[in-house]
Chain A
Amino acid sequence: MGVIIGILSSILSIFIVLKRLSLIGDGLSHTAFGGLSLGYFLSIVYFVDIAPIWAGTIVVVLGSIGITKAIRSTKISGDAAVALFLQLGLASGIMLLSISRGFGFNVETLLFGDILLVNLGQILVALGVLAATLALVFIFYKELVYTTFDEIQARASGIRTWVFDYMISIVTGIAVIASIPIVGVLVISSLLVLPALTSIQIARSFRQTLILSPIFGLTSVVFGLLLSLVIYSAAGATIVVVGLLMFAIVLGLNKFKSATVSRTNRTVPR
């Protein structure tokens, strides 16, 4: 399960980081928090038969559409749009949860995640999301890369870039909601940034970025989970710490390399 999340988020992170939307994960995870809270609120207080994960999914997809719409409009800047949805999700989530709290609900699970509480249903959902995302990235790979590289040039050459803008943010929203049970609301967004950020430091081509990013994502998830078991910490936090550590190491090695090796431009075919 962690492996799935690792691969999924690290592939998405490439497009997110390069589109300069690094905070979209934060916006969407807090929107998801609001949605999940709504789900718990409805089921605990009003006994409405809706699984929180579905309420969360619906809200987060609407949030992704809203954020993308706001970013694409010229009236509001991208970071402000993300901030708006972050605040909306967080405030309404806290409000709904504080009402539900009297009914014996554990907020910590939502915030920090708990790998030991993951059930088969969640694994299947995450597997489905992973398969769908990989398929989308595979099918629309060249259009996604072009749109990410330069939206205006892509649009001027006849590519319907709005489709791909919405595609990335909706898929990211779904990835966020699928990852929350494991890593929690607070740190999922780092998995949507760090793998790409780390691989961009050393990749010599887009192809290499696409290979390195999942490697970094997977490594941080696997070692983060192991570390969490060893030191009895919430898994989300240790995953992020490992990710940050790798980023720091790569950055350091890069500095070291460029200091010792005089600039060579070794060429790798293609």
Chain B
Amino acid sequence: MDASPKTNVVVELSDVAVQYPNGVIALDKIDLEIIEGDLIGLIGPNGAGKSTLLSVILGLIKPTRGTIRLFGDPVTPENLRHVGYVPQKAQAMDINFPATVFEIVLMGRIPQVGVFHRLHQEDRERVGQVLRTLGIDELKDRKIGQLSGGQQQRVFVAKAVVGDPRLLILDEPTSGVDAQSKNEFYTMLEKLNRDMGITIILSSHDIATVTKLANRVACINTSLFFCGSTSEFASSPVISNVYGYPVELMRHTHHP
């Protein structure tokens, strides 16, 4: 599909800058490579430009400067079909939308099928498989608005995964989800990364969890402060520089 020599580079940003019409510079001088198989944690304080960075990769925002390559090519509707996206929960949806879990997950097959073609039995079977894999099979006939926050997030992951993406992008997927569901959710991501070989970009506030889960970490605050393996990150002083205060990496340690 892509004949580029660096086929293992999934996303490549070089010198990317985004300035909003109101003059705010959201991103500046971002150089970042995401390699096939990565589970990369994207962290940074509120307003650091995490969502903007993801939007740029998804082609939702055009960068003011710099280039983005997705699977070695510029971002187009065609290569976006190989990307699954789970948006921030808060903005995600209208809880009165009259659709079942099955119908919503099926939407994830639409880009694969293409305009002027109808969804087939194979697409429905694929939905069934993904629902079983993610353990939400029994929810398939429920209306999306009746589910808990954690369940809804799983549905959105199912919808993103059902299109067999090479890259999965999650924007703060666990904000507003309770701790128990959060852990289950992260276990599920690990499984998708390890067993299905999907490259994952996960943006999060939750530094402690991200550093446990991810093999690489990118830390941004308008520009890129750090990008490297999780172990390097843990021993680097970058985190307190970015946040302006010391941050505990292991927030859940027990005090006997």
Q: Which residues of A are in contact with B by a Cβ distance under 8 Å? A: 18, 20, 74, 139-140, 142-143, 145-146, 149-150, 152-160, 199-200, 203-209, 265, 267-270
> Quick check: A140 and B102 within 8 Å, CB to CB?
no
B98 and A209 contacting across the interface, CB-CB below 8 Å: yes
With contacts A145-B107, A206-B103, A207-B103 taken as known, whether A158 is within 8 angstroms of B97 at the C-beta atoms is no
Complex contact B81–A157 (CB within 8 A): yes
Cα A232 to Cα B233 in complex, Å, equals 79
User: Which chain B residues numbered 162 to 188 have a C-beta less than 8 Å away from chain A?
Assistant: 163
Q: Is the CB of A142 within 8 A of B110?
A: yes
B54 to chain A, nearest CB (A): 9
Q: Pick from B58, B78, B83 the residue with the most CB of A within 10 Å.
A: B58
In the complex, B196 has a CB within 8 A of chain A:
no
Q: Binding site of B, secondary structure by majority: helix, strand, loop or mixed? A: loop
User: Do B99 and A149 have beta carbons less than 8 Å apart?
Assistant: yes
Q: Say yes or no: A149-B104 contact (C-beta < 8 A), given A140-B115, A200-B96, A205-B99.
A: yes
| Size class of the B contact interface (CB-based, 8 Å) | 35 or more
Of listed A139, A156, A200, A270, residue having the most chain B CB within 10 A:
A156
Interchain CA distance A199-B143 in the complex, whole Å: 14
Q: Is the CB of A150 within 8 A of B93?
A: yes
Inter-subunit contact A156/B85 (CB<8 Å): yes
User: Would you list which residues of chain B between 104 and 127 have a CB under 8 Å from chain A?
Assistant: 104, 107-108, 110-111, 113, 115-116, 118-119, 124
Extra pairs beyond A74-B21, A156-B58, A205-B99 (19, CB < 8 Å): A20-B94, A142-B107, A142-B110, A145-B99, A149-B97, A149-B107, A150-B92, A152-B91, A153-B87, A157-B80, A157-B81, A157-B110, A157-B111, A157-B163, A158-B76, A159-B111, A160-B77, A204-B141, A206-B99
Q: Does chain A have a CB within 8 A of B142? A: yes
Nearest B residue (CB) for A265: B142
CB distance from B90 to the nearest CB of A (A): 13
Contact assessment for B100 and A205 in the assembled complex, using a CB-CB cutoff below 8 Å: yes
A135 to chain B, nearest CB (A): 12
Q: Is the CB of B83 within 8 A of A157?
A: yes
Q: Is B149 an interface residue (CB 8 A)?
A: no
User: How long is the Cα–Cα vector from A139 to B117 in the complex, in angstroms?
Assistant: 8
Q: Is the CB of B104 within 8 A of A159?
A: no
